[in-house]
């Protein structure tokens, strides 16, 4: 019997019992001999000190076990919304998932967000309703909530055939004909239809139990092996893998976690001009150094110094767009010891390798660093990581909202060589045109400039445009526009009589890199910009008798709400609210709803801010001020 591999994600709202279930699966499979405890901080997958202290999962962890002929690479993902970026990167490499839901709390704020991501990426999913042994557990209520808020295509395992058949018949014409016509349907037909439709993410089996007590876990394991798509993989095909996590070992060496979709990687292989210096695969719950890894496996790879999260190794594989939005908050982080600014920069740069959405901004003028965030808990995680891994104590300033700038109109500018006040041996002309919301930053060449100068100079202009527009007229990133190169000009390599190459007579890439910021900002000033702030789409479930307090509270925060939907003693309010207001709502929610309100929110779009218009301090050489900018360039040269 050939072995198959299944890369399985465990997802849940925080505290639903996801890590406890992971421990129980590893114990039942014989990988660990004693069950760890989330409360005691002794679980197999939560190894960070802060994870053990808080009882939450922060970093994605991998463990391996076997069920019959299936090898399971189990990936335990964070449940706290501040770490949604970790979840995003895992979803692209999963074969299947288990979504854990508490039988007490039911569908919680993060659950629908995770569910939508799983459905969007078409990940086959089993549901495990956990904590049946707890007071207040109500599986029927949870099933009703799942059907209402997630999907009606649920199949309760252990349910009678009259409950299961109508759900399966919706996606199977033969079953539908038999069901409607009253023809007999065998148990084997039902099992085959259930497995086929689960693997296609058409239906979602629901298991019930208690991870802490072990109830229902055996049935869940059987369902994982039978109902989710495990494959043997083609180890002889060309290498195709995707990096979904990066960390560094104790010696500071970068380690890339990659999902192997096809082919085989061996130590000392060269792939994409990179040399693999060491490999580890996962066996028996831990990583083991090996000579190779093959299709279906999760690999730890050394030697890929320039690799980043999301990069392919070998043939790229389309795994679906990753839809989670970027963080909309940021904070300034400073070392407690001013002498450790250099060490802090190094540490933050390495943390940004592990989570690119941290997005470190360096302010050379103020000697400060800013990092972007999803929420306040990330501050604590960053501080704890800097202290434990780098020996750095840090302090944070107040968290602020990250805005963007959009061009208000079209603007153009040109600076020509040998024409005042251009001091550079280059000609650059640029036009900035506004684009539709969400279009990002585009770059183009007018037909007339194609082939008019060496490729290196074109690259210098394009790279600099992207760099400069990280800070617009008011310091926010400029987006939703197209920048077009309209004019070029340069001096070819020249020399004085009987002498070698002279920079004073010949254009260099530096001329274009130094001139382009002035042209970009001149064009942007002519276009003008509109500062826009992030707006969240929210859903708020509250006791119906608190609507009289909640709705006026939302109005005071500037929320735009729809008519509440009533469901017995509960009301659901949906609407839009600025991210800054969302932070305030989260703080007030407990008081507005007696602690019973459940808030779900996700970034939706940007819209223009009102007065006063916020600005952000510049971190560049300020090309908006020509005199200041050229003075800085002159100092840098000298």
Residue 357: band (very low, low, confident or very high) from pLDDT cuts 50, 70, 90: low
Query: Tokens 């963080």, residue?
Result: 327
**Spans of all domains in the chain:** 4-227, 240-314, 329-395, 405-530+619-637, 535-608
Mean residue pLDDT across the chain: 86
CA dihedral sign of residues 81, 82, 85, 90: negative
Q: Which CATH architecture fits 405-530+619-637?
A: 2-Layer Sandwich (3.30)
Q: Which of 60, 561, 626 is nearest to 309 (CA)?
A: 60
Percent of the chain past pLDDT 90, that is, above it, reads: 48
Residue 558 has pLDDT above 90, yes or no: yes
**Of 64-78, 84-98, 300-314, 429-443, which one has max mean pLDDT?**
429-443
Specify the pLDDT at position 468. Answer: 97
The whole-angstrom separation of Cα 592 and Cα 578 is: 19
Q: Do domains 329-395 and 535-608 have the same CATH topology?
A: yes
Specify the pLDDT at position 185. Answer: 82
Specify the pLDDT at position 83. Answer: 54
Is residue 509 within 8 Å of 461, Cβ to Cβ? Answer: no
Q: What is the CA radius of gyration of the chain?
A: 28
| Cis amide prior to 612 (ω within 30 degrees) | yes
Pairing of strands 4-12, 96-102: parallel
Of 179-188, 429-438, 583-592, minimum mean pLDDT range: 179-188
Specify the pLDDT at position 158. Answer: 86
Residue 539 has pLDDT above 90, yes or no: no
Region 361-385: mean pLDDT is 81
The whole-angstrom separation of Cα 429 and Cα 408 is: 19
The whole-angstrom separation of Cα 515 and Cα 423 is: 8
DSSP state of 476: S
CATH number of the domain located at residue range(s) 535-608 in this protein: 3.30.70.240
Specify the pLDDT at position 573. Answer: 94
Residue 597: band (very low, low, confident or very high) from pLDDT cuts 50, 70, 90: confident
Q: What is the pLDDT of residues 476-526, one digit of tens each?
A: 999 999 999 999 999 987 655 555 555 667 899 999 999 999 999 999 999
Specify the pLDDT at position 570. Answer: 84
543 phi-psi bin (left φ>0, alpha ψ -120 to 50, beta other): beta
Is residue 70 within 8 Å of 230, Cβ to Cβ? Answer: yes
The whole-angstrom separation of Cα 159 and Cα 96 is: 23
Specify the pLDDT at position 56. Answer: 41
Residue 473 has pLDDT above 80, yes or no: yes
Specify the pLDDT at position 442. Answer: 96
Is residue 24 within 8 Å of 38, Cβ to Cβ? Answer: no
Residue 550: band (very low, low, confident or very high) from pLDDT cuts 50, 70, 90: very high
Residue 285: band (very low, low, confident or very high) from pLDDT cuts 50, 70, 90: low
Is residue 20 within 8 Å of 109, Cβ to Cβ? Answer: no
CATH superfamily of the 4-227 domain: P-loop containing nucleotide triphosphate hydrolases (3.40.50.300)
Region 595-611: mean pLDDT is 86
Specify the pLDDT at position 204. Answer: 97
Specify the pLDDT at position 503. Answer: 62
Specify the pLDDT at position 58. Answer: 38
Region 54-78: mean pLDDT is 72
Backbone angles phi, psi at 518, to 5 degrees: -65, -40
Specify the pLDDT at position 231. Answer: 84
Chosen CATH of 240-314 out of 2.40.340.10, 2.40.30.10, 3.30.70.60, 2.60.40.10: 2.40.30.10
**Token representation of residue 7:** 């890369």
Residue 54 has pLDDT above 50, yes or no: no
Of 17-31, 259-273, 322-336, 620-634, minimum mean pLDDT range: 322-336
DSSP state of 407: E
Pairing of strands 270-271, 274-275: antiparallel
Q: Kindly give, in sequence order, each residue whose CB lies less than 8 Å from that of residue 174, ignoring residues fewer than 6 positions away.
A: none
Region 84-107: mean pLDDT is 83
Is residue 304 within 8 Å of 241, Cβ to Cβ? Answer: no
Residue 212 has pLDDT above 70, yes or no: yes
Region 619-638: mean pLDDT is 86
Residue 46 has pLDDT above 60, yes or no: no
Query: Which of helix, strand or coil describes residue 582?
Result: helix
Region 619-624: mean pLDDT is 90
Of 182-196, 371-385, 408-422, 601-615, minimum mean pLDDT range: 371-385
CATH class given for the domain over 329-395? alpha beta
162 phi-psi bin (left φ>0, alpha ψ -120 to 50, beta other): alpha
CA dihedral sign of residues 503, 504, 510, 512: negative
Specify the pLDDT at position 494. Answer: 65
């Amino acid at each position: 019997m050939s072995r198959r591999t299944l890369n399985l994600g465990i997802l849940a709202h925080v505290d639903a019992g996801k890590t406890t279930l992971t421990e129980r699966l590893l114990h039942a499979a014989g990988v660990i001999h004693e069950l760890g405890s989330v409360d005691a901080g002794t679980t197999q997958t939560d190894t960070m000190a802060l994870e053990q202290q808080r009882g939450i999962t922060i970093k994605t962890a991998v463990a391996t076990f076997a069920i019959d002929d299936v090898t399971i690479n189990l990936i335990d993902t964070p449940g706290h919304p501040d770490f949604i970026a970790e979840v995003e990167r895992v979803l692209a490499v999963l074969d299947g998932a288990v979504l854990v839901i508490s039988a007490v709390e039911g569908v919680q704020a993060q659950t629908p967000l995770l569910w939508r991501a799983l459905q969007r990426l078409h990940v086959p999913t089993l549901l495990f309703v956990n904590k049946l042994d707890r007071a207040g557990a109500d599986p029927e209520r949870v099933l009703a909530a799942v059907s209402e808020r997630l999907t009606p295509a649920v199949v309760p395992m252990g349910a009678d055939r009259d409950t299961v058949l109508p759900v399966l018949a919706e996606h199977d014409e033969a079953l539908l004909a038999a069901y409607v016509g009253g023809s007999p349907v065998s148990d084997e037909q039902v099992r085959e239809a259930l497995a086929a439709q689960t693997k296609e993410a058409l239906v979602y089996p629901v298991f019930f139990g208690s991870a802490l007590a072990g109830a229902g876990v055996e049935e869940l394991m059987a369902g994982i092996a039978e109902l989710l798509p495990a494959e043997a993989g083609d180890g002889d095909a060309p290498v195709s893998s995707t990096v979904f996590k990066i960390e560094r070992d104790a010696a500071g060496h970068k380690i890339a976690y990659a999902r192997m979709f096809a082919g085989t990687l061996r130590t000392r292989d060269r792939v994409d001009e990179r040399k693999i210096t060491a490999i580890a695969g996962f066996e028996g719950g831990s990583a083991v150094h090996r000579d190779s890894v093959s299709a279906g496996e999760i690999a730890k790879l050394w030697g890929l110094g320039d690799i980043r999260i999301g990069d392919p190794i070998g043939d790229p594989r389309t795994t679906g767009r990753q839809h989670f939005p970027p963080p909309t908050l940021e904070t300034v982080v400073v070392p407690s010891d001013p002498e450790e600014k250099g060490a802090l920069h190094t540490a933050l740069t390495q943390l940004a390798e592990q989570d690119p959405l941290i997005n470190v901004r360096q302010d050379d003028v103020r000697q400060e660093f800013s990092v972007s965030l999803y929420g306040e808990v990330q501050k604590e995680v960053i501080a704890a990581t800097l202290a434990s891994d780098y020996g750095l104590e840090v302090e944070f300033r107040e968290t602020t909202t990250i805005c963007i700038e959009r061009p208000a109109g079209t603007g153009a500018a040109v600076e020509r060589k040998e024409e005042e006040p251009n001091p550079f041996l280059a000609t650059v002309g640029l036009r900035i045109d506004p684009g539709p919301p969400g279009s990002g930053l585009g770059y183009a060449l007018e037909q007339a400039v194609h082939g008019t100068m060496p490729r290196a100079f074109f690259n210098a202009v394009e790279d600099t445009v992207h760099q400069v527009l990280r800070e617009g007229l008011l310091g926010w990133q400029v987006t939703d526009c197209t920048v077009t190169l309209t004019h070029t000009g340069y001096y070819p390599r020249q020399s004085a009589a009987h002498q070698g190459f002279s920079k004073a007579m010949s254009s260099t890439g530096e001329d274009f890199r130094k001139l382009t910021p002035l042209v970009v900002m001149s064009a942007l000033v002519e276009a003008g910009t509109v500062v826009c702030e992030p707006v969240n789409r929210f859903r708020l479930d509250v006791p119906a008798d608190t609507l009289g307090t909640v709705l006026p509270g939302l109005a005071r925060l500037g929320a735009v709400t729809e008519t509440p939907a009533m469901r017995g003693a509960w009301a659901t309010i949906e609407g839009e609210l600025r991210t800054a207001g969302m932070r305030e709502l989260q703080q007030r929610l407990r008081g507005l709803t007696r602690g019973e309100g459940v808030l779900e929110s996700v970034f939706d779009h940007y819209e223009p801010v009102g007065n006063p218009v916020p600005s952000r301090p510049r971190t560049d050489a300020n090309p908006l001020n020509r005199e200041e900018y050229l003075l800085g360039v002159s100092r840098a040269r000298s």
